[in-house]
Amino acid sequence: MGNARVLRDIKARHGVNATEILRRAYLYVARNQTLPPQVRFQAQLQLNTFGRYERPTAVKNRCVVSGRGRGVIGEFGLCRYQFRMKALAGELPGVRKAMW
């Protein structure tokens, strides 16, 4: 079972992906100055009805092992400490300790 924060982040990512096209369409309409104000206002109201996990600000890079939200190395999805532990154990392909 994953960390609760990681599961919440996964849920947010799926929600954002599912509503991205519709959200961008509403944003375009709401920001288009050539349209009548009533249409723009309705688009803005529709934007406000999106749920908590359907907004892009809910997505945060988190470590997939520990759920930590700081110091995450994007390519591997690991925080710096977990990255170091897995690299020293030889579990990351193409990563090895530097020899000076």
* CA gap 76, 68 in Å, rounded: 13
Alpha carbon separation from 27 to 20, 24, 54, 76 (Å, rounded): 10, 5, 14, 32
Domain with residue 51: its CATH number is 1.10.287.1480
Q: Which stretch of DSSP H or E encloses residue 22?
A: helix 4-31
Q: State the average pLDDT for the chain.
A: 89
- 2, pLDDT greater than 70: no
Token duo for residue 31 = 């920001």
Domain with residue 99: its CATH number is 4.10.830.10
Range of the domain at 19: 1-59
Q: Are residues 65 and 47 in the same domain?
A: no
Terminal Cα-to-Cα distance of the chain (whole angstroms): 40
Structural domains counted in the chain: 2
Q: What is the pLDDT of residues 17-75, one digit of tens each?
A: 999 999 999 999 999 999 999 999 999 999 999 998 998 988 888 888 888 889 999 88
* CA gap 38, 48 in Å, rounded: 15
Q: Are residues 55 and 8 in the same domain?
A: yes
Q: What angle do CA 15, 16, 19 make, to 5 degrees?
A: 85
Q: Are residues 51 and 67 in the same domain?
A: no
Q: Are residues 5 and 38 in the same domain?
A: yes
